[in-house]
Amino acid sequence: MKNAIAFLLLLCFPLLFACSGQEDKGPAERTAPVRLAVAETRDVPRILEAVGNVEAFSSVQVKSQVGGQIVDVLVRAGEAVNAGDILFRLDPRPFDAAVAEVEARLTRGEALLAQARQDLARQSTLRRQDVVSQEAFDQALTAEKTIQADIKQAQAALQIAKLNREFSEIKAPVSGRIGDILVRLGNVIRANDERPLVVINSIRPAEVSFTLAERHLPAILHLLQAGALEVGVLPEGDTGPLIMGEVTAVNNEVDRMTGSIRLFAAFPNDDYRLWPGQFVRITLVMAMLNDAVLVPERAVQMGMAGPFVYLAAPDPQGRKDLYRVTLSGVESEPGPRGYVVISKGVSAGDVIVVEGQLGLSPGALAMDVGERR
């Protein structure tokens, strides 16, 4: 037994001697892969951003002013129409008959008036000769005036009949886009029915409403007094350029619940990129910022103390593509698309981390794995 233990110790002694000769260097420092960019300066517009809603410049429920049967439907849902275009036709025969009836009554009245004037002229001559009584003359005069009144009444009735005939062709009161057709060919409709035949939304121009924090109200009012206040919008999913318009109105009170003010802007919308009900991103141009410090918006992170960025400094030991990062709190505001304007915390020329922040902490070692931007 003692010989076995002595043999094991003899075998382990060289291993213990070899291990004791190695230097204890400790674990290697972790290096986080990142992508870097350089803060730049540029003259950019100062903007406010918000979310808004597209509204029709006007929305009209088309109703019929007369009753009848629909014999022709001349539009389809979604079609563009101009003011005055015929949308529906009602059966014209009852209206034509009404016009003919009043015209016949008017013709009869004109004939009776001619006869009554002859009788009045004769009675007037006989009255001057004292051949007929004053009562007979008065009766002739009354008959002539009564027929004149009947003719005026018939003329008014004819105007109404012709107007109803015109109303049997239901026309678009405004230019715009047709919504769902709510009646069908052959339907019988009533005059001024509560149910509309169709709704027309006028979307050229289009109107957008949006809200901003009330702290911006003084600056907005000042800019409006100085001239036009330009605003750009972009619908969700639209990758084209901003659609530009102008602020047209500011609501007359601040919302007490939210502390916000509602604004309205108009857009020509000649290309129909804006549709009622859409949500759009608002970009309100307030002023120009000269030599503004810009960084990619991906570089700005949100922490417990507010927004921050990681600044990257070359490794003190001079190792290539290695950097020490420090955390810097920033004050920022929206800038051009993809960038933010930094007013505090970053200077022009500073190297900042734009990707890989999740693997960093203050003082960490980072390796640049991307092309510098």
Instruction: Determine the pLDDT at residue 280.
Output: 95
Q: CA separation (Å) from 231 to 192, 280, 294?
A: 41, 12, 21
Domain-located, residue 15: no
Here the tokens at position 233 are 């919008």
Query: Is residue 106 within 8 Å of residue 219, measured between CB atoms?
Result: no
pLDDT at 79 over 50: yes
Residue 2 placed within a domain: no
In a domain, 9, yes or no: no
Task: Inform me whether the pLDDT recorded for 12 exceeds 70.
Answer: no
Q: In this predicted structure, what is the pLDDT of residue 27?
A: 59
Q: How confident is the model over 82-94, as pLDDT tens digits? A: 999 999 999 999 9
Strand partners, 302: 307
Q: How far apart are CA 292 and CA 270, in angstroms?
A: 34
Single residue among 289, 318, 351 that ends a domain in this structure: 289
Q: Which CATH number characterizes residue 38's domain?
A: 2.40.420.20
User: What band does 28 get if pLDDT is binned at 50, 70 and 90?
Assistant: low
Q: Give the model's pLDDT for residue 296.
A: 93
> Could you report the per-residue pLDDT of 227-259, keeping only the tens digit for each?
888 899 999 888 888 999 999 999 999 999 999
Q: Is the pLDDT of residue 31 over 90?
A: no
Q: Is the peptide bond before 205 cis (omega within 30 degrees of 0)?
A: yes
pLDDT of residue 309 exceeding 70: yes
Shared domain check, 103 and 84: no
User: What is the number of domains present in the chain?
Assistant: 4
Alpha carbon 193 to chain centroid, angstroms: 31
Q: How far apart are CA 175 and CA 82, in angstroms?
A: 4
Any alpha helices (H) in the chain, and if so which ranges? 2-20, 93-128, 134-167, 217-226
What's the CATH number where 227 sits? 2.40.30.170
pLDDT, residue 372, reads: 59
Cβ neighbours of residue 161 closer than 8 Å, sequence gap 6 or more: 95, 98, 99, 101, 102
Instruction: Tell me the Cα Rg of the chain.
Output: 43
* pLDDT at residue 198, as a whole number: 94
- What gap in Å lies between CA 357 and CA 209, rounded to an integer? 37
Checking if the pLDDT of 195 tops 70, the result is: yes
Q: Is 345 within the bounds of a domain?
A: yes
What percent of the chain has pLDDT above 90? 52
Residues 79 and 190 in one domain: yes
Q: What is the pLDDT of residues 318-352, one digit of tens each?
A: 777 789 999 999 998 888 878 899 989 999 999 99
Coil vs helix vs strand at 323: strand
**Going along 185-239, which residue ranges are E strands?**
188-189, 198-213, 230-235
Domain interval for residue 314: 31-43+290-368
Given this model, what pLDDT does residue 337 score?
A: 78
Residue bearing the bigger pLDDT, 5 or 276: 276
Whether the pLDDT of residue 24 is over 80: the answer is: no
What is residue 215's DSSP assignment? G
Q: Are residues 281 and 207 in the same domain?
A: yes
Q: What is the CATH number of the domain that holds 84?
A: 2.40.50.100
Are 185 and 83 within one domain? yes
Residue 164, pLDDT score: 94
Residue 38 pLDDT class (50, 70, 90 cuts): very high
- 224 belongs to a structural domain: yes
Residue 7 lies in a domain: no
How much is the average pLDDT of 351-364? 91
* Whether 252 and 296 share a structural domain: no
Q: Do residues 242 and 318 both lie within one domain?
A: no
How many Cα atoms sit within 13 Å of 110 on the Cβ side?
8
Q: Do 213 and 237 belong together in one domain?
A: yes
> Does residue 134 have a pLDDT over 60?
yes
* Count of C-beta atoms within a 10 Å radius of residue 321: 12
Whether residue 243 lies inside any domain: the answer is yes
Q: Are residues 270 and 206 in the same domain?
A: yes
Pick from 286, 372, 296: nearest CA to 341:
296
